[in-house]
Amino acid sequence: MRPTPLRSSLLFLASVALLLAAEPAAGKFKPIRIKAGVTAPLTDEAGVVWEADHGFKDGETIEREGLPIANTKTQSLYRSERYSMTAFSQPVPNGKYVVKLHFAETFDGISGPKQRVFSFNVEGKDFKDFDVWAKSGGFARAYIETVNVEIADGKLDITFTAGTENPEINALEILPAM
């Protein structure tokens, strides 16, 4: 039987449908952006909307309005934080993701490196002796730690362990891997 143009088109559409059905859930995933330390969503200077603080276990929040933050065009992301948290969890479809953790040392009780050192683990990837001051280059300077992960249990898990001073974070993003 010789294929007709209609039959060829139907076969092509069926092939495309099979490919789309096989696409991993993470590929259809809408990015999650969480602004730590706030009770209402935040629209940053670039027009990106960030969800209010959620998903953290333990800890406290604080805002530092008006503080100038270097190394970023989105200073508002770094003017509040969650600190002393022990964990973060967010349900997501299984798949590959890029997690971006946003940090800036904004506590005026920290005046140099090695005064806030903590560890965290993102889906089995350890970051030991993390020093926000050292990574960012000083006080009130933005720094983003980017981690590629693969989720197999339906949730992104991050644990935080205090060292010298408490862990802190300003924001985080969960993006589908390309």
CA 84 to chain centre: 18
∠ CA 16-98-40, nearest 5°, is: 105
User: How does the average pLDDT of the chain come out, rounded?
Assistant: 89
Buried b (16+ CB within 10 A) or exposed e, 142-178: bbbbebebebeeeebebbbeeeebbbbbbbbbbbbee
Query: What pLDDT, on a 0 to 100 scale, did the predictor assign at position 60?
Result: 98
DSSP 59: -
Q: Is the pLDDT of residue 19 over 80?
A: no
Query: What pLDDT, on a 0 to 100 scale, did the predictor assign at position 21?
Result: 38
Query: How much of the chain exceeds pLDDT 90, in percent?
Result: 83
Distance CA(1)–CA(26), nearest Å, equals 40
pLDDT tens, residue by residue, 32-81? 999 999 999 999 999 999 999 999 999 999 999 999 999 999 999 999 99
pLDDT tens, residue by residue, 106-118? 999 999 999 999 9
List domains and CATH numbers for the chain.
23-176 (2.60.120.430)
